[in-house]
């Protein structure tokens, strides 16, 4: 079990420029690494046993890993942008749009191994029972 002071220490380490934090859950090592996404942006990536596979987050894929539901970020996005919906409403009208495109206002959800901030990751990981921090300083 990770206590409050340890979470503070983990969060400080994750906010650093070069971070590498390891957790252990059951028999799996979960590694959090800050990696460069573009020239000026860095994000936190989640690895299982020091490997990453995009197919792990898709339930329909053969390589699906159920641990992704716990450790990856759930992202929800609309099917159409607000500008596109406004354009369709203007052309067809709201009532006809809902009748012909019933999913125009719906969203889709997927799992992503990329976290934008350390606090976002910490909030999600605090809720996981059985998670152990592998402290390299000890």
Q: Do 68 and 79 sit in the same domain of this protein?
A: no
Q: Do 16 and 67 sit in the same domain of this protein?
A: yes
The pLDDT value recorded for residue 32 is 95
| Residues spanned by the domain of 86 | 74-110
Walk across the sheet containing 114-115 and list its strands. Answer: 114-115, 42-48, 28-36, 20-25, 131-134
Domain count, the chain: 2
Cβ partners under 8 Å of residue 126, min gap 6: 2, 7
Q: Do 59 and 23 sit in the same domain of this protein?
A: yes
Task: In whole angstroms, give the CA distance from residue 92 to residue 59.
Answer: 36
The pLDDT value recorded for residue 2 is 87
The pLDDT value recorded for residue 137 is 66
The pLDDT value recorded for residue 135 is 79
pLDDT means per 10 residues, the chain with 138 residues, are 88 90 93 92 94 90 91 94 95 93 92 94 93 79
């Amino acid at each position: 079990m990770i206590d409050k002071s340890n979470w503070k220490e983990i969060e400080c380490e994750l906010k650093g420029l070069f971070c590498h934090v390891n957790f252990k859950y059951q028999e799996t090592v979960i590694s959090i690494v800050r990696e460069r996404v573009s020239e000026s942006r860095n994000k936190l990536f989640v690895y299982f046993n020091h490997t990453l596979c995009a197919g792990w987050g898709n339930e329909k894929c053969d390589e699906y890993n159920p641990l992704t539901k716990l450790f990856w970020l759930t992202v929800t996005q609309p099917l159409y942008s607000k500008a596109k919906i406004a354009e369709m409403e203007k052309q067809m009208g709201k009532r006809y749009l809902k009748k012909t495109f019933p999913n125009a206002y719906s969203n889709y959800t997927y799992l992503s191994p990329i976290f934008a901030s350390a606090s976002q990751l910490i909030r999600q990981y605090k809720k996981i029972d059985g998670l152990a921090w592998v402290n390299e300083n000890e």
